[in-house]
Amino acid sequence: CHLIHYLRLSHHLIVLNYLICTFDKLKSVSSEDINITDAVFDGVEVRVFEPPAKRDERLKRSIVYIHGGGWALASARTSLYNNLCRIMAESLNAVVVSVEYRLVPEVCFPEQFHDALRATKHFLQPDVLAEYSVDPSRIAISGDSAGGNLAAAVCQQLSKDEHLTVRPKLQALIYPVLQAFDFNTPSYQQNMNMPVLPRYVMINYWIDYFNGNYDLAHSLLINNHTALDVGQALSFRGRLNWTSLLPSSFKKNYKPVIQTTGKAEIIQEIPALLDVRAVPLLAENETLQLQPKTYILTCENDVLRDDGVMYAKRLENAGVEVTLDHFDDCFHGCMIFTIWPTDFSAGIQTRNSYIKWLDENL
């Protein structure tokens, strides 16, 4: 993929996504009991999973789901996410709306956020909910990894929209990526070379999302962009102090990496590094207080573990009811790996726990 990119034949993410989708076509996922349709919500493609109607049944609950993949890979239509959303719809007897937002490199931030927000707001309209027989008081917003990032950002934006008549009851975030402020949290240090999502890969995803320059990767890795002399970052430092937000069992013996002098030009070149629509963990307390009841799933073997744990703590400090569901023996991305040949026990374990929480709270 990178050779093709180097030769300027195509972007490596386009090639990688093509390979993923080609492999995915080899799999077949049945959906006999769920009606699956594709639709367009305010210009954004979605896939809707509807359980069959039952006689004298009340309105159904619903989940808006936003898939992961570093804002650049996968699709609501791939078998991995198709299977997850189908099982959610079956297990919860719920209407699941899976958002097919546009990907990097076709578009970059903030377009993925805008796609997810537009599709969600369209679905939350009373007449649209009525069309799908959805109970307006029982709607959740959810997503995994980069989709968890978009779900959190969308939820924050919706909470500040005074014109909305319907708001989500819950948000459920699966190993979400929530900040690009500190790439040396204990989980980033502990899992820097962990397969599936090493630290350098996550940094490159951020650079691609922001349409930045790969030459900045090393400076980001050592936190030059948030050094003490970078004035734009000062006001955010207290919102992401992992020494106070993480329990000792996660901090272990790791030390903060705080540069005295850095490169303010990085923030000038990529201001989105401090944009809460991209980095929801940096939101102000007034916004966090408006968030709905929250579920956050984290995995020990994941650079993003501390993103989720810190967000849970900040929400809790703001008065939000939070369930932090941590798995010591699981890895980033595991919840979608439940189909042969990647049917892992970690995937079944995390998926069951996530669906159980939704069933009990939605």
DSSP string of 88-99? HHHHHTEEEEEE
Q: Are 354 and 96 in contact (CB under 8 A)?
A: no
Centroid of chain to Cα 120: 15
pLDDT of res. 21: 58
Sequence-separated (6 or more) residues with CB below 8 Å from residue 163: none
* Token pair belonging to 175: 């190993």
pLDDT digits (tens, 9 = 90+) for 301-341: 999 999 999 999 999 999 999 999 999 999 999 998 777 66
Beta bridge partners, 299, equal: 327
Burial of 120 (0-12, 13-18, 19+ CB in 10 A): buried
d(CA 279, CA 210): 12
pLDDT digits (tens, 9 = 90+) for 172-223: 999 999 999 999 999 999 999 998 899 999 999 999 999 999 999 999 999 9
| One-letter amino acid for residue 360 of the chain | E
Beta bridge partners, 96, equal: 49, 63
| One-letter amino acid for residue 345 of the chain | S
pLDDT of res. 338: 79
pLDDT of res. 54: 78
Beta bridge partners, 97, equal: 48, 64
d(CA 214, CA 216): 5
Q: Are 59 and 139 in contact (CB under 8 A)?
A: no
pLDDT of res. 340: 63
Helix (H, G, I), strand (E, B) or coil at 136: strand
User: β-pairing, 60-66 with 44-50?
Assistant: unpaired
d(CA 300, CA 191): 9
d(CA 178, CA 240): 11
Segments making up each domain of the chain, as ranges: 1-180+272-360
This model's pTM is above 0.75: yes
* Token pair belonging to 190: 């502990």
Strand stretches in 239-341, DSSP E:
293-301, 322-331, 338-339
Beta bridge partners, 48, equal: 37, 97
**Is 302 a catalytic site residue?**
yes
* Token pair belonging to 174: 């699966």
Centroid of chain to Cα 301: 17
d(CA 180, CA 294): 22
Sequence-separated (6 or more) residues with CB below 8 Å from residue 173: 142, 143, 144, 148, 151, 152, 294, 295, 296, 297, 308, 311
pLDDT of res. 32: 65
| Catalytic residue (one of 302, 306, 307, 325) | 302
CA nearest neighbour of 12 among 3, 24, 21: 3
pLDDT of res. 33: 85
pLDDT of res. 4: 40
CA nearest neighbour of 206 among 178, 238, 172: 178
Which residues of the chain register pLDDT less than 50?
A: 1-10, 15-17, 20, 25-30
User: β-pairing, 60-66 with 94-100?
Assistant: parallel
**Is 306 a catalytic site residue?**
no
d(CA 237, CA 16): 36
| One-letter amino acid for residue 94 of the chain | A
d(CA 243, CA 250): 10
CA nearest neighbour of 202 among 303, 129, 294: 303
Q: Are 274 and 280 in contact (CB under 8 A)?
A: no
| One-letter amino acid for residue 103 of the chain | L
**CATH architecture type of domain 1-180+272-360:** 3-Layer(aba) Sandwich (3.40)
| Catalytic residue (one of 145, 182, 307, 325) | 145
| Catalytic residue (one of 67, 114, 225, 332) | 332
pLDDT of res. 10: 40
Centroid of chain to Cα 216: 24
